[in-house]
Amino acid sequence: MEKSSPIQRSLESQPAEFAQSTQRVALVVQYVGTRLHGWQWQPNARTVQGEIEAAVRSVLGYAVRLSGAGRTDTGVHAAAQVAHFDAPSFIPAHRWADVLNARLPEDILIRASAAVADTWHAQFSACWRRYRYTLYTGQRPNLFVRPFVWHYYRQYLDQGKIQVALDAMVGHHDMTAFHRARSGKSHSWVDLQIAECHRQDTFLTVELQAKGFLYGMVRLIMGLVVKVGSGELTPAQFGELWQQGQRQQVKYAAPAQGLCLLRVGYDDHPFAQEVWFDTQPHFFWGPAVA
């Protein structure tokens, strides 16, 4: 018979009305997606939602439902995913980060936890999501960056051309060209708020921000935009392709390991900025030290 945890025993010893009072707890979650089958619970696979829900269940002795700000695919990382669940108020909300980290595997981490209003929702209260895709263009592979980048070494990628191509995507547009069949949305319209390309030596990053994305959209964009950077497509050709909704021409999604859910924005964010704002380290090569 499974032993109850100290917190379960404490809950059992409280007056019924106190033990039954609940609060909504928000979490900032980091995970390395390499060995995870995405965010959403699956019956026969390790997922972020599944692992955290199991950790909460081991504390409370019963199942809870964890809601996330976004659903990431197999192999995709997150620097500051946001989630929430309802739990007894007997446990202070700020303690949940430590309680869960003691029970979670090493590839999932709770950076912070906090109490939020009962009407606050990790998904529906969010104003935007921001993703970062990282490419490595060095001539030789490097084991220490491989889990977090797409090693695109065949040709130099022109940052300026990529930025020109991305600039045209900012705004409210029909993104049918990047609409996968498994998307849960009934339409293809996306309000892309920010699209930026940056280079640091042999590393190239693209950051895209929108209130919501189509399923797999960022990886499909990246699978095509590298053709602009390599000169295979001009920015104008790239624009014509997606503006005309030529889904049949978007045949390749960039590898999952280069993608990271960077952060989620709220009108009144429940966490201090240092907890969630830019917590995925940038890759770059500094000067060699003798």
Cα–Cα nearest to 219, from 167, 255, 260, 246 = 255
Task: Classify the C-alpha dihedral 261-116-192-74 as positive or negative.
Answer: positive
Residues 6+ apart with CB under 8 A from 101: 109, 110
Euclidean distance between CA atoms 225 and 49, whole angstroms: 31
Catalytic residue among 73, 107, 158, 278: 73
Residue 73 is among the residues annotated as catalytic for this protein: yes
- The angle formed by the CA atoms of residues 106, 112 and 113, to the nearest 5 degrees, is 115
Name 113's bridge partners: 27
Euclidean distance between CA atoms 26 and 115, whole angstroms: 6
156 annotated as ligand-binding: no
Is residue 273 exposed (0-12), middle (13-18) or buried (19+ Cβ within 10 Å)? exposed
Give the other-Cβ count within 10 Å of 232's Cβ.
12
Give CA separation, 235 vs 19, 132, 175, 192, in Å: 60, 20, 16, 17
Q: Which residues are annotated as a binding site for substrate?
A: 131
Catalytic (active-site) positions: 73
Q: Which residues are annotated as a binding site?
A: 131
